[in-house]
Amino acid sequence: MMRIKLEDIPKEGKQLVFLWGQESIQSFLAPKDPHGIAIPDPLSVEIYLFRKASQVHVTGSIRGKLNMVCHRCLESFSFPLEISVETFLQRKPTYLKEDEVELSEEDLLWEFFDGDEIDVDLLVAEEIFLSLPQVLLCSEDCKGLCPVCGKNLNIQTCSCKRMEFSPFETLKELRDSFSS
Ligand SMILES: [Zn+2]
Ligand SMILES: [Zn+2]
Q: How many percent of the chain have pLDDT more than 70?
A: 80
* Interval between CA 34 and ligand 1 midpoint (Å): 14
Measure the CA–CA gap between 167 and 169, rounded to whole angstroms. Answer: 6
pLDDT tens digit sequence for 3-18: 999 889 998 999 999 9
From the CA of 150, the nearest ligand is 2
Q: What is the pLDDT of residue 169?
A: 59
Question: What's the one-letter identity of residue 8?
Answer: D
The C-alpha atoms of residue 167 and residue 180 are separated, in whole angstroms, by 20
Report CA-CA distances (Å) from 55 to 7, 52, 104, 124.
12, 5, 17, 18
Tell me how far CA of residue 136 lies from CA of 36, 77, 148, in angstroms.
Answer: 11, 10, 23
Task: Tell which residue, 137, 141, 161, 139, has the closest CA to residue 149.
Answer: 161
Cα of 155 vs centre of ligand 2, distance in Å, is: 12
Q: What is the pLDDT of residues 83-127, one digit of tens each?
A: 999 999 887 776 666 666 566 665 555 676 777 888 999 999 999
Ligand nearest to the CA of 146: 2
CA of 143 relative to ligand 2 center, distance in Å: 12
Query: What does the alpha-carbon distance between residue 46 and residue 85 come to, in Å, rounded to a whole number?
Result: 9
**Angle subtended at Cα 85 by Cα 4 and Cα 107, rounded to the nearest 5 degrees:** 75
Distance 146 CA to ligand 2 centre (A): 5
Nearest bound ligand to CA 159? 2
C-alpha 15 to ligand 1 mean position (Å): 38
Q: How far is the CA of 70 from the centre of ligand 2 (A)?
A: 19
CB 43 within 8 A of CB 62: yes
Residues in CB range of 133: below 8 A, 6 or more apart:
none
Per-residue pLDDT at 96: 60
Lowest mean pLDDT among 14-18, 149-153, 157-161: 157-161
Which carries the bigger pLDDT value, residue 11 or residue 64?
A: 64
Side chain identity, residue 125: A
Which residues line ion ligand 1, judged by CB < 5 Å?
A: 70, 72-73, 138, 142
pLDDT at position 68: 95
| Residue 151 φ/ψ, nearest 5 degrees | -70, 145
